Amino acid sequence: MQNTTRFIVWAVVVALILLIPLVIQFPPFASEVQWNEAVAYGVILLAVGGAYELWRWLKTQNRTYRLAFGVGLLGVILLGWVSGAVGIIGSENNSANLMYWAVPAVGLVGSLISRFKPLGMARTLFAAALVQFLVPVAALIISPEVSWGNAGVIGVFVANSIFAALFAVSALLFRRARVTDSNTVS
């Protein structure tokens, strides 16, 4: 049953991706949708399939691990949204905001290296929190004349502290998930 559901989900995702080029050929889409948007739609559909796989895998983990993963993922999603939509350091067009991509990169690499084990994930999220907090420090060192926008330097550090706190809470929850796992095993 589960393999059937999995097959159906991926079949729908692949079918929709394959239909995108066909659909954008006809009015009213032909003049409005461009191929780069079609590729973006395909990536979004693949992300939906990946989210389904992630949900299936997280169901096998304990509650604290799932909560820790959710808090960390929420932090990354909000960070991407805020830095991409309005920008944290000045406006969204400020190139200093590109340094925030280091945070999810640290999270991804650390997660893969630790093979998603709770202790490794805790270390990874602590590292992500540190990188998050160091981004405006690096912006100050690299380019002191960078535009900080209406929030100013202190406002940027406050916003960064909020994101860093999300990652630190996630790391603490991963540490707790490790303790919970070791208590249930022994």
Q: Which domain holds residue 139?
A: 62-186
The pLDDT > 90 percentage for the chain reads: 37
97 and 22, same structural domain?
no
What pLDDT sits at residue 29? Answer: 58
Q: Are residues 91 and 158 in the same domain?
A: yes
The verdict on 182 and 128 lying in the same domain is: yes
Let me know whether 18 and 77 are in one domain. Answer: no
pLDDT in tens, 80-132: 888 888 888 888 788 888 899 999 999 999 999 999 999 999 999 999 999 99
How many distinct structural domains can be found in the chain? 2
Mark whether 55 and 67 lie in a shared domain.
no
Using an 8 Å Cβ cutoff, are 89 and 97 in contact? yes
44 shares its domain with 66: no
Pair 146, 89: CB distance under 8 Å: yes
Radius of gyration of the chain from its Cα atoms, rounded to whole angstroms: 20
Q: Give the CA diameter of the chain.
A: 64
3-state secondary structure of 62: coil
Tell me how far apart the alpha carbons of residues 65 and 176 are, in angstroms, rounded to a whole number.
Answer: 8
Tell me, yes or no, whether 55 and 78 share the same domain.
Answer: no
